[in-house]
Chain A
Amino acid sequence: MNPTANAAPARAARALHVLLAVLGAGALIPGLLLPSGAQQPAAGGKLPPFVQTLPGSVVKVRMMPVPGGTIAIRGRQATVKPFWIARTETPWEAFDAFTNSGPPSPAYDQTEFLPDAIARPSKSYILPDLGWGHNGYPAINVSFLSSQMFCRWLAAGTGRKYRLPTEAEWELACRGGVVGPWKLDKATLDRVAWHAGNSDGTAHPVGKKQPNRLGLHDMLGNPGEWATDLDGQPILCGPTFLDGPRAMTPSTRRRQTPKWQETDPQFPKSRWWLADGKFVGFRIACEP
């Protein structure tokens, strides 16, 4: 479905697009995420931004266009078509709209489980938000499956092609058109990212730091974000609020280890929640 079919958002989107074109992305956010020596590619991508209201909810997610391009991911070239990605990490109120959309799936039933748009997180044994804050804070301690099911639920309820970003899409979105080596001075880093030096070891509300050139917040820092790698496997993209300044680059990656669930006291451990994944979140992507 073409998001511009909806007239009002389309008008707003066009207006914003024009504004961006007039000002230039760099003028909106001066000096941001422009590592020294980096080149700035020509502007591309014609998709307009749009706002998605979640099914059965008043919660809205703002989707921002990302121009296509090619990017090297750990030695492999990947081509990315233009797509949308959410302006922020998925906040709890959005995740709640998903979990509240029907009865939870059985917690530990490993055999009868068919992941689909109807599968929803079981009740968590842990306190997933860790008491750090709920509405406005990024959903954390979520498994790849939980994140993936959120996208399937959203796609089923809207008819749009929502999914997790690929690793290549994620990195392209994070770089926001910046190619080459990545360097940020400390002052810039503090303006754009929650990292070990300013986070006090916790996640922070989404969208409070300055966005990158594409209008995307918290791509660096705050929780890491689930994506699928070039082989379709789960990978956590981006540095987290627990990483130091040196790790604050678009190429920081993590693979899930048993440590991420070590303190889940149940067996088998939850397929939906990562008891020790406080640094694990996600943001959604959408294909045209």
Chain B
Amino acid sequence: MSNACESSDSSPSRREFLTATAGAVAALAATGNYAFAQGSDVIKVGLIGCGGRGTGAAADALQADPGVRITAMGDVYQSQIDASLRNLKEQTTFGDRVLVPRDRQFVGLDNHERVLESGVDVVLLCAPPGFRPVHIKAAVAASKHIFAEKPMGTDAVGVRTALEAVQAARSRGKCFVSGFCYRYASTHRAFYSRLHDGALGPVRAVHATYITGPVKPMPPPSARPAGMSDVEWQIRNWYNFVWLSGDGLVEQACHSIDKILWAMKDVPPIRAVATGGRVFPNNEGNIYDHIDVFYEWADGTRATMAQRQMPDLPHNDNTDYVIGAKGVGIVRFSSAEMSGETRWRTDPPKKSMYHLEHDALFAAIRSGKSINDAEKMARSTLAGIMGRMAAYTGAAVTWEHILNSKEDLYPASLEWNGRLAIAPMAIPGRTALV
């Protein structure tokens, strides 16, 4: 079955991007950022997607640099912008730097275009993940510095196009920081740096868990207000639709998949097999509530990703267990430890990783250096999509397949008041591997 997934037409450039063993941050062009060499210069930031996380990212940005001003906001709901503005402006430490008059509040499916045209230097891309590739491409085309929340997209076509757009514009030296925030956590940097220095010996396997409750359960069809379009109904309940969230595996457990890849020095797996399904009915939603993925590398190293989003069960776990030849590493939300030949534990973090990722972004913009997380972000997101595809189809899905997959979940036409059929929930063996 896996042979059927393979294809030989992958372009060399694409393969280069995604199969290279991540020589950390590749050679970075330092051009185009000198406008901000002065500490007093204002950096204008636009927020696209004004929900709880987007507003959180705006707060992180404001606290990262005193020159940051939030100057534009976009969302599909005015009420989201209103709430976001109100909550940010209430803050005594940075509320006075939130300067978004009515004519820079943009509502609608094209809100990102108008935020990008409003004269901002940086955009925070925090809309549901299904929109991320569209937003990344537009922000790159507009030559903005970008903070993009994880994941990078919900399907292989979207992620690849987003990455290609960022890579093609690399010579401009704009920053691209991803919301895979563990990469910026002092605790996790210390752990993976020791791991790569051989503290646990060669990594034999990683067992990652994201065994939790549901994020935003789907309301019943009867809760849909009269006259609300299919498109709005799905976007309002975005977590429950694969084209918008990518499934819980891709939307949330992607953090754990990102850490699996980090443990593997960002070498992508060659193959994934997965099982999954839904135990708790979820109205019209078409995502699963559990997926377990088994990843395999060329040298025989393996990783498992156990993911679950079911309500109120008697046990939860969100941990990575890194099994090395000389010991075991245990990685949690804000700490990590090693045991075996050596015992070691991280110091408590002094600053949250959400702050640190924005500190890094704005420090880079100020200093004229460039950070570009796009390649790692694409790889980790694609590994998640690979796992979902394996669970949805029952097929063994190869990395080669992901690099060439034609799966494109973004609707061919998207109108706010438009019709949009809900794809049926995947059934392994019947759902085709695309």
Contact = CB atoms under 8 A, between A and B. Distances in A.
Interface of A: 93, 96, 99-100, 107-111, 123-127, 129-131, 133-135, 201, 262-269, 276
Contact of A263 (B55, B84, B312, B352): B352
A231 B247 CA distance: 48
A100 B215 CA distance: 15
B56 A263 contact: no
B53 interface: yes
Given A110-B87, A267-B56, A268-B87, A127 B353 contact: no
A108 B52 contact: yes
A123 B216 contact: yes
Interface string B32-62: 0000000000000000000011011111000
B352 A96 contact: no
Given A109-B83, A131-B315, A267-B52, 19 more contacts: A93-B314, A100-B312, A107-B52, A108-B87, A110-B83, A110-B86, A131-B211, A131-B316, A131-B318, A263-B333, A263-B334, A263-B352, A263-B353, A264-B56, A265-B56, A265-B181, A267-B58, A267-B59, A267-B87
Interface in B339-369: 351-355
Contacts of A265: 53, 56-57, 181, 354
Shortest 10 CB-CB contacts between residues of A and residues of B? A266-B52, A131-B317, A267-B56, A267-B55, A263-B352, A262-B352, A267-B59, A127-B318, A268-B87, A266-B56
Given A127-B318, A129-B316, A268 B55 contact: yes
B312 A96 contact: yes
Contacts of A100: 312
B48 to A, nearest CB: 15
B212 interface: yes
Which DSSP category, helix, strand, loop or mixed, fits chain B's interface? mixed
A240 to B, nearest CB: 14
B186 interface: no
A127 B316 contact: yes
A134 B316 contact: yes
Contacts, number: 76
A129 B333 CA distance: 12
A174 to B, nearest CB: 27
A266 B53 contact: yes
Interface of B: 52-53, 55-59, 83-84, 86-88, 181, 209, 211-216, 312-319, 332-335, 351-355
Residue of A107, A129, A135, A267 with highest tally of chain B CB at under 10 A: A267
Contact of B333 (A107, A130, A268): A130
B177 to A, nearest CB: 14
A130 B333 CA distance: 8
Contacts of A93: 314
10 contacts: A109-B83, A110-B83, A110-B87, A111-B83, A127-B317, A127-B318, A134-B313, A263-B353, A267-B56, A268-B52
Given A123-B215, A127-B212, A276 B334 contact: yes
Given A263-B353, A263-B354, A134 B314 contact: yes
Nearest to B54: A267
B314 A135 contact: yes
Contacts of B315: 131, 133-134
B129 to A, nearest CB: 15
Contacts of B215: 123
A259 to B, nearest CB: 9
B163 to A, nearest CB: 24
Contacts of A134: 313-316
A16 B215 CA distance: 45
Contacts of B59: 267
Nearest to B216: A123
A182 B87 CA distance: 45
A131 B55 contact: no
Contacts of A107: 52
Nearest to B181: A265
A201 B212 CA distance: 22
A41 B314 CA distance: 43
Contacts of B352: 262-263
Contacts of B86: 110-111
Given A108-B83, A262-B352, A263-B334, A131 B52 contact: no
A130 B334 CA distance: 10
